[in-house]
Amino acid sequence: MTREQWERLKVLFNGALDQPAERRHEWLTLHAHGDEILAREAGALLLAHDTAEGFLEEPAVVDPTDLAALDELRSGTRIGSYEIEHEIGRGGMGVVYLARDLRLGRPVALKALPQLHDSNAALQERLRREARAAANISHPTVATVYALEEIDGRLFIASEYIDGHSLRSEIESGALERRRAIAIAIDIVSALCAAHDAGVIHRDLKPENVLVTRAGAVKVVDFGIAHIDSINTRLTREGDVIGTPAYMAPEQLIGGTIDARVDIYAVGIILTEMLTGQHPLTAGRHSIHTSASEIARRCVQTDPNERYRSARELLAVLERERSDPTAVTDSLTSPLPEASRARWWWEFHQAAVSIVYAVMVWPTWLARNVIGGQTGNAVFVAVLAAAIVAVTLRLHLWFTSRSYPAELEWARGRSTGWMLVSDAIFASALVVAGVLVGDERPALAVIEIAVAVGAATSFAVVEPATSRAAFRRTNRL
Amino acid sequence: MPLVYDELRRIAAGYIRRERPGQTLQATALVNEAFVRLAAEQPRSFANRQHFVAIAALSMRQILVQRARARKAAKRGGAPNRVTLDEGLVSTEPRGVDVLALDEALTRLAALDPEQARIVELRYFGGLTVEETADVVGVSPATVKRQWAMARAWLKRTVDAAPDDGADAHL
């Protein structure tokens, strides 16, 4: 619409509006001078006018928390003895600025903590206490907290300014090289050790809170204060649904008792993300299993008691992982052809052995009839029982490997003993059967003894070999 | 301009400290309070009250649009690893005006009729009465009423015609 048309529309609209409702249409047709499009537009506007009851009638309203969340400090603003340079980040815990400490002439990261209701004196005291505790952590991979400032009734935390990028930006461009992922995890966990020793739990560890300096050093930021916003949120906006923070341990999400192990959980998620480039919740099931992913898996157990007990224990495991020479060439960015082929052979072996065991029940039944009596029955029952146990366990492992690879290590650990016993009984019973029927049915005897030798070779030589190839990297755990 | 912005923020901070959580503020109250405080603190910052409320109304519009955008972006947050606590703050807003659609329509209206757009900004975002608006714009109250009637009809029609984005960004 041109300005000229708009002016004509305005004349039509205002003119028609002055008419009684029933005469408007007629008036419009008369005064539009044949411009039907304009007449129709004016008619539509009149209709909108009549139905606009209440629309924009009341002035806009605003939630004070929205206002408080605005970019508030501009370049050059003085806050106590700090001069704001510019905003460098904004997150759950408020806004972070790059500022200059005018007393010492050094740059600092100045965090403006969320404004709290005056009645929350207890909470404010807690914030102060936690910020002080965080200031007590001294470690090369923890961003040092310089000061807690209270200016105009508002809390600010001044800490070491880190010129670099966040781990998030690295993960966004894909999985990290395995060795680097382990090294970063070690730096994070070292920071946790120092913090936990000082009695500070991070509570909101995530790739955004792990910074990498230009020189490549890792620095964990926001110890002990990152969760403030979640408290604040609960207090200021009751009834709101809080999203599912993807790094929070289950007990944290449900508001249960929290201890240092929530940080261990977060490390598990971050480690997986570094190794695969994806958050475990979006990554789906991984069929590749390496010792590093096993460490991550142990960290993210739902039950805190099943995680590593402390950051120190996790640190030791990670350091062993770093020095493990068998894992050096390992990379998780793509499936390992060698490892998955070995796993396939191992699965094939399990299936093949199961079939042979099942089939051998039939010749042994024939042998029982030849031998006869108690002995025949005993031999047959021994073979049958051993075959049932061995086949059941092998199919169980085969199924676990295919469907729940994460549980395989555990399942294998539990069945190995039983398999050895059943294999031994099976082979021995076959030898006995073969010897007993030897004179009458030489062919049957040959089959029984040949399979017994085959089974013995299989469990003594072949199976350890395929298992070793398939599980080389996880056997250690 | 930044002065008004800062003042609005300070007032909001005061409200959070004093009032019960979850309360909303009407633009009228906020703008008035900001004016009273600024006039007392820095009497020379503004040519007059008209000048001040015009800026305050524009600030309010920007603030509401900025927050509505942030909310919308948060709601569409996507992958769980992008969820931060801030996004957890997403709240359901009362009242049925889609601020983003209104802002867009108002920008289009300003191209056709700057005066009408200004009147809407002052009345809706600044919370001014017809008389106050007439004072600021420099026209008669009758003109404000006429212009307001048409602008409101046109905006209503334009906002309703815009593709519905679902319940996002309603304020």
Write the pLDDT tens digit of every residue in B50-93.
Answer: 777 888 888 888 878 877 776 676 555 433 333 333 333 333 34
> Cα–Cα distances in Å, from A208 out to A91, A167, B87, B136?
10, 6, 14, 47
pTM of the model: 0.49
Per the model's pLDDT, the better-predicted residue between A438 and B143 turns out to be B143
Q: Tell me what the mean pLDDT of segment B102-112 comes to.
A: 92
Spatial neighbors of A84 by CB under 8 A, at least 6 apart, are: A73, A74, A75, A76, A77, A78, A97, A98, A99, A110
> CB within 8 A of B169, min separation 6: which ones?
B68, B69, B71, B72, B93, B98, B99, B100, B101
- Token couple for B147: 């212009």
pLDDT at B37 over 60: yes
State residue B109's pLDDT score. Answer: 93
How many helices (H) does chain B have, and how many strands (E)? Answer: 7, 1
Residue of B26, B62, B81, B130 for testing the chain A interface, max A β-carbons within 10 Å: B81
Give the residue carrying structure tokens 């029609």. B157
Chains A, B: CB contacts within 8 A come to 189
Which of B11, B60, B81 is the closest to A60 by Cβ? Answer: B60
Q: How far A117 CA sits from the closest chain B CA (Å)?
A: 4
**Catalytic machinery residues of A:** 204
φ, ψ of residue A79 in degrees (nearest 5): -120, 105
Are residues A240 and B91, on separate chains, in Cβ contact within 8 Å? yes
Please give the angle made by the CA atoms of A399, A360 and A371, to the nearest 5 degrees: 150
Q: Which residues of A touch B120 (CB under 8 A)?
A: 56
**What is the predicted pLDDT for the residue at A334?**
36
Residues of chain B neighbouring A79 (CB-CB closer than 8 A): none
- Per-residue pLDDT, B45: 65
What ipTM score was computed for the predicted complex, to two decimals? 0.77
Give yes or no for a contact between B170 and B98, defined as CB atoms under 8 angstroms apart.
yes
- Candidates A58, A59, A243; nearest CB to B88: A243
The continuous run of DSSP H or E covering A125 comes out as: helix A121-135
- Contacts A237 to B, Cβ<8 Å: 21-22, 89, 91
Q: How far apart are the first and last CA of chain B?
A: 24
* Secondary structure letter of residue B168 according to DSSP: T
3-state helix, strand, coil in chain A (%, to 5): 60, 10, 30
Q: What is the pLDDT of residue A406?
A: 65
Chain A nearest C-alpha distance from B100 (Å): 13
CB contact under 8 A, A115 and B27: no
Distance CA A253, CA A276 (A): 24
Rounded Cα distance between B8 and A70, Å, is 10
Cβ contacts of residue A353 below 8 Å, gap of 6+?
Answer: A390, A394, A455, A458, A463
Q: Does A122 touch chain B if contact means CB atoms closer than 8 Å?
A: no
Name the one residue in this structure whose structure tokens are 């649904």: A241
Q: Which residues of chain A have pLDDT under 70?
A: 65-72, 90-94, 114-120, 123, 152-153, 224-245, 282-289, 325-340, 405-406, 472-477
- B17–chain A Cβ distance below 8 A for any pair: yes
Beta bridge partners of A78: A83
Residue with the two structure tokens 């001014």: B128
Q: What is the DSSP string of A257-303?
A: ---THHHHHHHHHHHHHHHHSS-HHHH-------HHHHHHHHHT-SS
For testing the chain B interface, which of A6, A11, A13, A63 should be mutated: the one with the most B CBs within 10 Å? A63
pLDDT of residue B44: 67
Residue A210: HSE in the Cβ half-sphere, 13 Å Cα cutoff: 28
